[in-house]
């Protein structure tokens, strides 16, 4: 079997499921650490900073990694804006995990003439925020969507995700956004840079065929589908394109 030099790993459904650790996922991370294999957690979640994600992994799941091992759609958005170099004025619809990171990266808040409008998940979204974003996009601000997730799983059931707000804004402005998060190319390209590996050397690991596995399939990266979360085993035979590898549990994977 091909020996991979680095791993891009999903979190929810792969390493933990909601508020419960997946034991095989925890062991998978510990085996990577023991063998000094580089890895990066890649998540579409923009509500938490990498430091907050790392703290949660330690406090709730006894998984100990540095915040440098966590790459969020927020960080990918910042890296993309820096590379685009359109300016430094920004208006953001999102939560502190997104806004604080963007402002700390040197961008300046501007509701009237921003160079970028960034839309992520915002549980306090208002009509006025959407109105300001729509006006700015119509004036020429670059429209960026942090991730395409239309819904997010919660204890209450599936609730609107960032993708729902982004779709609303696309309808309102008739402008297509640049999408950052999985399975889009932007986050995968930036994650490979952070990991310091070429795509041929890396394996994308996740439980969700539509996001994690498509991230690999659409961007030329080998994939490992673990049947511990979103994609059910019964669905595998009917998948339009098969992942490179499939396991019931990450305990089955050997390095």
DSSP 11-61: -BTTTEETTEE-HHHHHHHHHHHHTT--EEEEE---SS-HHHHHHHHHHHH
Query: Backbone phi, then psi, for 228, in 5-degree steps?
Result: -115, 0
Q: What is the mean pLDDT of residues 91-104?
A: 94
Amino acid 154: pLDDT: 67
pLDDT band at 202 (very low <50, low <70, confident <90, very high): very high
Catalytic residues: 10, 12
pLDDT band at 47 (very low <50, low <70, confident <90, very high): confident
Instruction: Give the helix/strand (H/E) hosting 75.
Output: helix 73-84
Amino acid 150: pLDDT: 85
* pLDDT, tens digit (0-9, with 9 covering 90-100), for 15-31: 998 888 999 999 999 99
In the chain, the percentage of residues whose pLDDT exceeds 70 is: 99
d(CA 242, CA 240): 7
Q: What is the DSSP letter of 168?
A: H
Average pLDDT value over all residues in the chain: 93
Question: What ranges make up the beta strands (E) of 110-217?
Answer: 116-119, 142-145, 151-154, 157-160, 178-179, 202-206
* pLDDT, tens digit (0-9, with 9 covering 90-100), for 57-88: 999 999 999 999 999 999 999 999 999 989 99
Amino acid 254: pLDDT: 92
More confident residue, 228 or 107: 107
Enumerate the β-bridge partners of residue 130. Answer: none
Strand-strand pairing, 20-21 and 89-93: unpaired
pLDDT at 142 over 80: yes
Q: What is the DSSP letter of 227?
A: T
Q: What predicted TM-score, i.e. pTM, was given to this entire model?
A: 0.90
Catalogue all structural domains in the chain, each as residue range(s) with its CATH number: 6-44+183-252 (3.40.50.1000), 87-179 (3.40.50.1000)
pLDDT at 155 over 80: no
């Amino acid at each position: 079997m091909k020996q991979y030099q680095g791993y891009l790993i999903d979190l929810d459904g792969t390493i933990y499921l909601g508020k419960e650790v997946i034991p095989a996922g925890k062991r998978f991370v510990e085996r990577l650490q023991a063998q000094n294999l580089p890895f990066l957690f890649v998540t579409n979640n923009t509500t938490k900073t990498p430091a907050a994600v790392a703290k949660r992994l330690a406090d709730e799941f006894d998984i100990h990694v540095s915040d440098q091992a966590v790459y969020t759609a927020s960080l990918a958005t910042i890296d993309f804006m820096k590379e685009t170099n359109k300016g430094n004025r920004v208006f953001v619809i999102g939560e502190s995990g997104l806004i604080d990171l963007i402002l700390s990266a040197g961008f300046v808040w501007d509701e009237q003439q921003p160079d970028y409008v960034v839309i992520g998940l915002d549980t306090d979204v208002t009509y006025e925020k959407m109105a300001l974003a729509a006006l700015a996009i119509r004036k020429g601000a670059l429209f960026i969507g942090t991730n395409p997730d239309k819904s997010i799983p919660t204890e209450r059931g599936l609730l609107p995700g960032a993708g729902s707000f982004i779709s609303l804004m696309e309808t309102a402005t008739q402008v297509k956004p640049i999408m950052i998060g999985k399975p889009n190319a932007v986050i995968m390209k930036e994650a490979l840079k952070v990991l310091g590996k070429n795509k041929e050397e890396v394996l994308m690991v996740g439980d969700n065929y539509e996001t994690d596995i498509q991230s690999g399939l659409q961007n030329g990266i080998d994939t490992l589908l673990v049947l511990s979360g979103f994609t059910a085993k019964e669905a595998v035979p009917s998948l339009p394109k098969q992942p490179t590898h499939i396991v019931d549990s990450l305990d089955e994977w050997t390095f």
